[in-house]
Structure 1
Amino acid sequence: MSIQKPLQALTKRATPAQSLQHRPRIWQPQRCLATVSNGNFVPPVTQDNTSSKGPTAMVFMNMGGPATTDEVGGFLSRLFADADLIPLGPLQNYLGPLISRRRTPKIKKQYANIGGGSPIRKWSEYQASEMCKILDKTNPETAPHKPYVAFRYANPLTEDMYAQLLEDGFGKGRGGRAVAFTQYPQYSCSTTGSSLNELWKLRQRLESPSRNNSLDAAQAEGSIKWSVIDRWPTHPGLVEAFAENINATLQTYPEEIRDSVVILYSAHSLPMSVVNRGDPYPAEVAATVWAVQQRLGFRNPYRLCWQSQVGPSAWLGAQTSDTVNNFVKKGQKDLLLVPIAFTSDHIETLFEIDQEVIHEANELGADGRTRRAESLNGSPTFISALASLAGAHLRNNEVCSRQMGLRCPGCKSERCLEQKRFFMGQGEQANNAVTL
C-alpha cells in the first residue's frame, strides 16, 4: 500500500477535522550556524550542500517503558517521583519511593508476561527513523533529519538524549535546530508538559549562560534552537491510521453483526485533581474519538473510557475494565477496544487490555467476542502521518501551537510557566506570545 495515497485521499475529505488543529506560532529561524572565536562558521553535525537550514534533530518524546525486567525498579522510581504525572502532595518524596518499591515485584511479573519488557523503545526508534527517511526526501532544505528518542522514565532518558545531541555536534557554539515531537497526540501537563519541563531543565543546565558559567559567549550564542510539536489530536493521518486498524478488526466479526459492535475507546486516565485544575487532555482525547468516529461514518455505537488508575485517590472514569464487564454482563459481548491515546504497544495494551480486561470479559462469557484493534506500531499510514505533520512544522517555521502558552486555569507551577515562556519565546513573535 502506498503510504501517500491514504493521506492524499483523507486530505480531501477531512477539512472539518483539520480546522480543529491549533494554529501554530511561526518562527523565522536564523541560519543555524554559530561564530567561534576565530570568526569561522562551524556547521553542526553533517550539513551538506543540498540543505540550507539543516541538519535537524527530530526528538520523539514519550513516557517510555522498561526494556527488561531489571529496569522496572528504576522506571517506577522515576515515575512515582514525578508530581506532574502522579501528584502525591507534600509527601511525594516519601510516598513515591515507597509505592514504587512495593509495586516493583508485581510489575516485573507483568512485563515478564509480555515477553520480558516493553516494546515501546523498539517502536519509537523505528517510527522516528522511518519518519526521518521520508523527511529527507520531502524536506531537503532541513535535511539531514536525525532521529532521537527521549523517554521520561526509561532508557534512553531525556538527559542521555541531550548529551547525545551535544556529542553529535548540536549546540555549544555550533547551533543546529531540534524539534521536540511529543508522541502523546493529546496534550496533558502530566505527559507532554512533564517531558517539556524536563527538556527545559536540561537545556537551562547545559546551554544557558545564566546557569552554566563554563559557557563562553560563542557557545551561548550557538545553542540549540528548539521548536515543539506539542499536540495533534485530530491530525488527518492519525485519524486515518486509527480508522484503518479499527476497520481491520471489525472485519473479523460476522457481517450481520459488524455494525452492532460497540467500540470502546480507551485512554490512560488522569487523577481528578489534575482534571479539575483544567488539564486539556480529556477534551483533546474526546476530539480524537469524534474525528475517528466521523471518519468511520458513525456506523457503530461507541464510548470513551479510561484505564490504568493508580492508588486510592479519585481518577477520571468510567474505568475501561468496569465498562467492559458491565457490557458483557448485560449481554453485549461484541466489543472492540481501541487504545486511542497510545502510538504503540506497551504494558497498557499488551497486559492490561489483552491479559486482564479481555481475559476477564471471557471469564464472564464474552466467548472471544471482545477484541482489541492493533496499535499503530509500524503502520505505514501512521508513519506517513508523522512525516506529514513534522514536514509542515518545518516548512512553516512553526515554534509550537498557540495553545501551548496557556497553563491550566488552576496551575500555580512557576516551573511550568518558565518552560512555556522559553519555548514560546523561540520565535520572532516572542513579544506577542501569550504565556499565562
Structure 2
Amino acid sequence: MLDKESPETAPHKPYVAFRYVPPFTEDAFLELEKDGVEHAIIFSQYPQYSCATSGSSFNEIYKHYKKRGFPIGLKLSVIERWPTHPLLAKCFADLIKKELQQIPENKRSEAIILFSAHSLPLKAVNRGDAYPSEVGATVHQVMQELSYAYPYQLVWQSKVGPLAWLGPMTDEAITSYVNQGKKTFVVVPIAFVNEHIETLHELDIEYCKELAEKVGVENIRRVPAPNDHPLFIETLSDIVKTHIKNKIPVSKKFLSRCPHCVNVNCINSKKMVF
C-alpha cells in the first residue's frame, strides 16, 4: 500500500525489530546496514508512547550504535507516537461496532465499553511518563467515532509485583460493575495492535471466561486487536507517508525528557544522529 500511495519514495522495505524474541533490534539494524539502506524510519508499533515500551526500544537502538559506531551514509528518523490518528480511531470503532452487534439487542444498550491497556507503576507515571494521557486521548477519539453512545471506562491490566500501579484494574472493574448490577461488557485492548498473551490469555481466558463465569457476567465480548484490519493497514501507510513528506526527522516531544527522568540511556538516545 505504501509503495502505491507514495511511489516517489518506493520501494519501501520493512524490517522487524523485537526486544525479547528474534529478530532482535541488533538483527534488524545489521540487516538494513548490510542492505545499504540510506534512510531508516524507526516506527514504533506502540500507538501511545511510554518510556517502558517505545522509549525502551529506542534506548536499545542507541546501545546498538554505541557499541558499533554509527554507520556513514545512514539517516534515521523517528515515528514514536500516533495515539490520535483518525484512521486508528475509525479502526477501533469499527471493531467495537461489530462486537456490539453480537450482544442480544435487548441488552446492547446496557453495554459498558471497557478500554483495557497495560498498566504502569505509579512511580513511572509520577516521573512524567506520557502514556496514561495518550491512552486516554485514544479512548476519546474512539468514543467520538461512536458518538459517545455507550458508557465507557479506561481500565488497566497486567500488573506485576508489589508496587502501586495505575488503576482501576480491568478484572477489579468488571467485578465492581457486576456488584453495581452491570452485567454486559465490551472489552477493548486499546493499547495493543495485535494479538498476544495479554489479549489471548489474560483478557480472553482469565477475564472474559473464568472471571465472567465466577462473578455472574451475562454478556461479554472482547474486541480483536487491529491485526490486519484494512483500516489499520491504511493507518500505518498514512503515518509513514505523512512522515516522509513532512521531512521532520524527529518530533520536539520525543527530544524532550520526562521532568524527573534519571535514565542515562534515555538522555543519550535522544542525541542520536537524525
Question: Normalised by the shorter chain, which TM-score bucket?
Answer: over 0.9
Q: Distance in 1 between matches of 2:250 and 2:92?
A: 24
Specify the alignment match of 1:60 in structure 2.
Answer: none
For residue 155 of structure 1, report the CA deviation from its aligned partner: 1.3
SS of equivalent to 2:60: helix
Equivalences for residues 102-181 of structure 1 within 5 A: 134-170=1-37, 176-181=38-43
What TM-score results when the alignment is normalised by the length of structure 2? 0.96
CA contact (8 A) 1:139 1:395 kept: no
- What is the aligned-residue identity percentage? 48
The equivalent position to 1:386 in structure 2, one of 236, 245, 249, is 236
Specify the alignment match of 2:213 in structure 1.
Answer: 362
CA contact (8 A) 1:328 1:361 kept: no
Specify the alignment match of 2:157 in structure 1.
Answer: 307
Specify the alignment match of 1:85 in structure 2.
Answer: none
SS of equivalent to 2:231: helix
Q: Is 1:288 the equivalent of 2:166? A: no
Q: Distance in 1 between matches of 2:262 and 2:105?
A: 53
CA contact (8 A) 2:62 2:265 kept: no
For residue 207 of structure 1, report the CA deviation from its aligned partner: 3.4
Q: Distance in 2 between matches of 1:256 and 1:325?
A: 22
For residue 286 of structure 1, report the CA deviation from its aligned partner: 0.4
Specify the alignment match of 1:47 in structure 2.
Answer: none
Specify the alignment match of 2:260 in structure 1.
Answer: 410
Q: Is 1:184 the equivalent of 2:51? A: no
Q: Distance in 1 between matches of 2:179 and 2:220?
A: 12
For residue 254 of structure 1, report the CA deviation from its aligned partner: 2.6
CA contact (8 A) 2:84 2:141 kept: yes
For residue 138 of structure 1, report the CA deviation from its aligned partner: 1.3
Specify the alignment match of 2:196 in structure 1.
Answer: 346
Larger Rg: 1
CA contact (8 A) 1:227 1:400 kept: yes
Q: Distance in 2 between matches of 1:362 and 1:381?
A: 34
Residue type matched to 2:214 in 1? E
The equivalent position to 2:91 in structure 1, one of 220, 230, 241, is 241
The equivalent position to 1:269 in structure 2, one of 115, 119, 133, is 119
Q: Distance in 2 between matches of 1:177 and 1:203?
A: 16
Q: Distance in 2 between matches of 1:180 and 1:361?
A: 40
Where has structure 1 moved over 4 Å in runs of 4 or more? none
Q: Distance in 2 between matches of 1:321 and 1:200?
A: 37
Q: Distance in 2 between matches of 1:309 and 1:155?
A: 25
For residue 398 of structure 1, report the CA deviation from its aligned partner: 2.2
Q: Deviations over 1:119-148 (max 9, x none)?
A: xxxxxxxxxxxxxxx111111222110011
CA contact (8 A) 1:345 1:375 kept: yes
What TM-score results when the alignment is normalised by the length of structure 1? 0.61
Residue type matched to 1:145 in 2? H
SS of equivalent to 1:247: helix
The equivalent position to 1:278 in structure 2, one of 128, 134, 141, is 128
For residue 167 of structure 1, report the CA deviation from its aligned partner: 2.3
Q: Distance in 2 between matches of 1:235 and 1:344?
A: 17
Q: Distance in 2 between matches of 1:372 and 1:292?
A: 16
Q: Is 1:322 the equivalent of 2:172? A: yes
Specify the alignment match of 1:221 in structure 2.
Answer: 72
SS of equivalent to 2:13: strand
Q: Is 1:231 the equivalent of 2:93? A: no
Residue type matched to 2:52 in 1? S
Q: Is 1:198 the equivalent of 2:48? A: no
Q: Is 1:335 the equivalent of 2:185? A: yes
For residue 201 of structure 1, report the CA deviation from its aligned partner: 1.6
Q: Distance in 2 between matches of 1:329 and 1:370?
A: 15
SS of equivalent to 1:190: helix
Specify the alignment match of 1:420 in structure 2.
Answer: 270
Q: Distance in 1 between matches of 2:120 and 2:185?
A: 24
For residue 204 of structure 1, report the CA deviation from its aligned partner: 2.9
The equivalent position to 2:104 in structure 1, one of 236, 254, 257, is 254
Number of residue pairs aligned between Structure 1 and Structure 2: 273
Q: Distance in 2 between matches of 1:251 and 1:401?
A: 40
Q: Distance in 2 between matches of 1:196 and 1:291?
A: 27
Q: Distance in 2 between matches of 1:154 and 1:310?
A: 21
Q: Distance in 1 between matches of 2:229 and 2:109?
A: 24
For residue 272 of structure 1, report the CA deviation from its aligned partner: 1.0
CA contact (8 A) 1:343 1:377 kept: yes
Specify the alignment match of 1:92 in structure 2.
Answer: none
Specify the alignment match of 2:226 in structure 1.
Answer: 376
Cα distance change on mapping 1:168 and 1:231 into 2, 3 Å = same
SS of equivalent to 1:154: coil
Q: Distance in 1 between matches of 2:12 and 2:67?
A: 25
For residue 391 of structure 1, report the CA deviation from its aligned partner: 0.6
CA contact (8 A) 2:204 2:222 kept: yes
